[in-house]
Amino acid sequence: MFVRGDLEKIEQKIFRGERLTREDGEKLFACNELTWLGALADFVRKKICGDEVLYNVNCHVNLTNICMSRCKFCAFGRDDDDRRAYAMTIDDAINLVTEAARDPNLIGLHIVSGLHPKWTFENYLAFVETLHKKFPALYVKGFTGVEIQHFANISGLSVEEILRRLKAAGLQAIAGGGAEILTDRVRNLLCPKKATADQWLNVARTAHKLGLPTNASMLYGHIETLSERVEHLIKLRELQDETGGFRTFICFPFLPKNTALESEIRQTSMWDDLRTIAISRLMLDNFRNIKAYWVMLTVPVAQVALSFGANDIDGTIHRENILHDAGATSPRALAEDEIIKIIRDAGRVPKLVTEVLS
C-alpha cells in the first residue's frame, strides 16, 4: 500500500542524494509507477556514471554441471549419472579458451561451475593455475561465494586460505552468483545444501579484505517476498559500506523452465524486471555499476533497462550454458559489434571494459 505523498518524499530524498530506508524500498516495490521509477533510476545512473555503458568481451567457462547441491531453481546442475552430465578436463578448458581467444578483444574468463561431489579443491585450483599460465593476458574472474564456501568445506581450509591460494594461482576477482536471496527462509526452502546467507556475505567480505573484488547478484521472481528483495539489497549495501569491494550488481530474473519449480512459478514479466533494476539502482547508492544481463532479460529488455538505472550490459560471453538449460531464449553469444549497436541505439556510449570490473 502506498500513498502519493510517500512517493513525493522519496523522490525528494533521491534528488537531495539521501539514502533510502528499508521502508522506502518497500514503498517503491508497492507502487505501480513504472515510468516514474525508471526516470528516477536514470537520473541517479546519469549522476553516478554518466552516459557510458560498460560491456566486455569475455568467455564463460563452466567446468562441470555435476552438482551435489541441486538447488530447486537451477536447471544446470545434474547428478553424475545423468546422461547430460559433463566434467571438463584441463585440456577441454584450454581448447575452449583457445577458440575464444581467436577474438583479439577477448579480455577475460568467467569461470563458474557445479559443486562436483568427487572433485577436490586442488582439482578446481589446477584449472585456474593452468588457464592463467597459458593465457596470462586474460583476467580470470571465477567462482561464486557458494563455490568458495564449498571448497572450504571439502578441504578443511578456511575461506581466507582458499581465497589466498586461488589468488596466488591467478584468480583476480570473484563472480557475483550464488547470492540468490540472502535470507535463511528462502535458502532453507530452495537451496539448503549450499552456503548460507551469512557464509556468502563472509566470502565477499574476506575477498575484499584480500584485495579481490567481487560482484553481487540477486535471483528474484521465485518464492521470495518483495520485502525480502529489499532486505537482500540492504544486506549488500551494508557490506559495501564496510568494504567497498563490490564492483557490479546484477539482477537475475528466475527462469523456471526445466527446474523443480517449473509447474509452480511463472516467469517474471518485463514490468517486474524493469522495476527491480530501477529499485536496485535507487537502493544500492554505493554501487557504481548495475548490470542488465541480456542473457536472462533478453536483449530487448536489457536495452530498455539502460534507461532504468543500468550502466552495464555484460559481454559477448562466447557460449552461455547455465541459463540456456533453464530455457533462456536469448542467443548463446553476441558479437561485439551487436553489443555496440544495442548500446548506441539506446543513445548511450559503449565502453569496453579492460579490467576486472564487470
Binding region for ligand SF4 (CB under 6 A)? 67, 69-71, 74, 76-77, 114-115, 146, 191, 194
Strands 108-111 and 58-61: parallel
One-letter amino acid identity for 335? Answer: A
Helix 121-134 with 159-169: angle, nearest 10 deg: 30
Grid coordinates in use for 16?
Answer: 537531495
The rounded distance, in Å, linking the Cα atoms of 130 and 347 is 41
Measured from the CB atom, is 78 or 208 closer to ligand SF4?
A: 78
Measured from the CB atom, is 67 or 251 closer to ligand SF4?
A: 67
CB of 111 to ligand SF4, least distance (A): 13
Measured from the CB atom, is 62 or 303 closer to ligand SF4?
A: 62
Contact by Cβ (8 Å): 121, 156: no
CB of 305 to ligand SF4, least distance (A): 23
The rounded distance, in Å, linking the Cα atoms of 331 and 299 is 9
CB of 61 to ligand SF4, least distance (A): 14
Contact by Cβ (8 Å): 49, 306: no
Measured from the CB atom, is 98 or 258 closer to ligand SF4?
A: 258
CB of 311 to ligand SF4, least distance (A): 27
Measured from the CB atom, is 36 or 86 closer to ligand SF4?
A: 86
Contact by Cβ (8 Å): 302, 273: no
The rounded distance, in Å, linking the Cα atoms of 342 and 332 is 16
CB of 75 to ligand SF4, least distance (A): 8
Q: Which of 145, 63, 143 is nearest to 97 (CA)?
A: 63
Phi, psi values for residue 198, rounded to 5°: -65, -40
CB of 186 to ligand SF4, least distance (A): 13
